[in-house]
Amino acid sequence: MTTSTEEIKELKHEIKEQKKEIEHQKQEVKSTTKRLKKITNTLRLETKKQLILALMAGFGFLIALVWRDFLQEIANWLIINSHVGGPAILIKSYVAIITTIFAVIGIIIITRWNKDADSSEKTEKTEKENK
């Protein structure tokens, strides 16, 4: 009878140890599931961010093409109305120079606009930090 009681005690102990191991594995599964959800969410957000960035770049490129056509038409109009003559290559160089001037002016305006936006963001950030 003693052997039987000892075996029962040993089996109970093994069952208890197995329950602990099962609980430990459950915790590991929960932890892994949380990490996977976090990684999946991060991947989803990053994919969305990159897709939005690509779409914005596409629209920006479309806008740039339209503006390029507009600026070239203005340059052509200026060349024609200033009665500049000469070979086609010379006229195209005038168009390129005028278009470059318009582009540089645009870049300067956009750069200043961006600096204004950056300085207002820094001001807001400083105000938040001071609160």
Q: Does some domain include residue 98?
A: no
Q: What would the pLDDT profile of 31-74 be if each residue is shown by its tens digit?
A: 999 999 999 999 999 999 999 999 999 998 998 899 888 878 88
Q: Which two tokens stand for residue 73?
A: 């038409």
Q: Does some domain include residue 96?
A: no
Question: How many Cβ atoms are within 10 Å of 75's Cβ, its own excluded?
Answer: 21
Q: Does some domain include residue 99?
A: no
Q: Does some domain include residue 106?
A: no
Q: Does some domain include residue 21?
A: yes
Regarding predicted confidence, which is higher, 42 or 6?
A: 42
Q: What would the pLDDT profile of 85-95 be if each residue is shown by its tens digit?
A: 778 788 788 87
| Collapsed DSSP state (helix, strand, coil) of residue 22 | helix
Instruction: Quote the domain boundaries for residue 40.
Output: 1-61
pLDDT for the residue numbered 42: 94
Which residue in the block uniquely carries the two structure tokens 């990053």? 46
Q: Does some domain include residue 31?
A: yes
- How many domains, the chain? 1
